[in-house]
Amino acid sequence: LGITHSNVTFIGTGKDTTTILGGFAICDFENITFKNMTVTNTSDDGCGIYMSNAKVKLIDVALKGCDGHGLLMSARSTSETTVVATHCEFSNCENGAVVSGSLTSAKFENCVFHNKYDGIYVYDKGTIHLHGEATALHSNKWNGIYATESGRVIIHLPSNHNTSYNNGEDDRRTMTGGTITNVED
């Protein structure tokens, strides 16, 4: 479903009761909110939510069982592209969230990631902020956190917080100028 206007809110009755079968494409719109639902896109390489030049909020949303990525933020963005996700689950997708491009940033607060490849994957100067004691990247078949090509992950939790664990390859993987940093606010 392509979103065609700004200022749209989708409200379900809960992650366990409202399921959208298919995905959303949000390009060039802002103030788009999803609350209390599950989004599942089983079509070939189907993403739960694709974003470019957009501003989105996710509250109590599960992006799971997608054949492609749960959330894909495009490196092709020509203006600021942001997502703020609170109490969300990214599971059983190719990658939970992919953030790419110098104009893209994501804030995940108390979100959980467990997927077929990486929990979160950031590259091409994208930025991810992780907040909240309940944040966990676990049981991903490849990496919990993967930052490459000058992508940045900033974890706003103490370094002893068990943020990323039990992943198939690395809990934290960096390559080609990618960084993963803990900061205490």
For residue range 59-76, what is the model confidence (pLDDT) as tens digits?
999 999 999 999 999 978
Q: Identify the pLDDT of residue 185.
A: 81
pLDDT tens digits for 88-133?
A: 999 999 999 999 999 999 999 999 999 999 999 999 999 999 999 9
**Do residues 23 and 39 touch, judged by C-beta distance below 8 A?**
yes
Q: Which of 100, 107, 98 is nearest to 57 (CA)?
A: 107
Q: Which of 125, 113, 175 is nearest to 152 (CA)?
A: 125
- Across the chain, what does the average pLDDT equal? 97
CA separation for the pair 160, 182 (Å, rounded): 9
Q: Identify the pLDDT of residue 184.
A: 83
Q: Which of 75, 89, 65, 71 is nearest to 32 (CA)?
A: 71
Q: Identify the pLDDT of residue 54.
A: 97
Q: Which of 101, 144, 139 is nearest to 120 (CA)?
A: 144
